[in-house]
Amino acid sequence: MNSDSLERLVPDLVRQNENTGSETLKLHLERYQFACNHIVPGKLLDIACGVGYGSHLLIQQANEKITQIIAVDIANDAIEYARARYANAKINFICENATTFAPPEKFDTIISLETIEHIPAPEKFIAHLKTLLKDNGVLIGSVPITPSVDANPHHLTDFTEKSF
């Protein structure tokens, strides 16, 4: 697995003495830990899961609450890495586009961390995720709230706390 940017964070490749990568990984793990504390028991969707470390952390921290995780990412190499590195009977890693992913079942919890800023139509994406959520389910999301579209060609939308 090659990690050319912080857009595809691979914990095994982050060097301890590299501040940017280490701090970014720390923030991502904190966001997944926050998500662990707000999971609705049952089936969970980790949409845009990257290389799977977050799904793995969720199983480690909230195993008793989770019956299954469907972990989706658009990048086949990321999914292959996730399957090899973070294999678990409760996690199913799937290569699909987050904006069109349409499973037959709905989820108790959907987690989408650092994804929405990459989507051309964020409101449409959130509406799509709501169709995948059970009536009493919870959607947990995060985005950067500092200007980033000028510095990061992968970010299509800047959010403030209020706009998010």
Q: Tell me the pLDDT tens digit for each residue of 6-29.
A: 456 666 666 655 555 667 777 777
What would the two tokens of residue 143 be?
Answer: 């985005």
Strand partners, 45: 70, 110
One pLDDT digit (tens) per residue for the chain, 164 residues: 544 444 566 666 666 555 556 677 777 778 889 899 999 999 999 998 989 989 999 999 999 999 999 999 999 999 999 999 999 999 999 999 988 999 999 999 999 987 766 677 778 888 999 999 999 999 998 766 555 545 555 555 555 566 55
What would the two tokens of residue 70 be?
Answer: 């469907």
Q: What is the pLDDT of residues 82-99, one digit of tens each?
A: 999 999 999 999 999 988
The pTM (predicted TM-score) of the whole model is: 0.78
Residue 130 burial by Cβ neighbours in a 10 Å radius (0-12, 13-18, 19+) = exposed
- Of 53, 68, 133, 78, nearest to 101 by C-alpha is 133
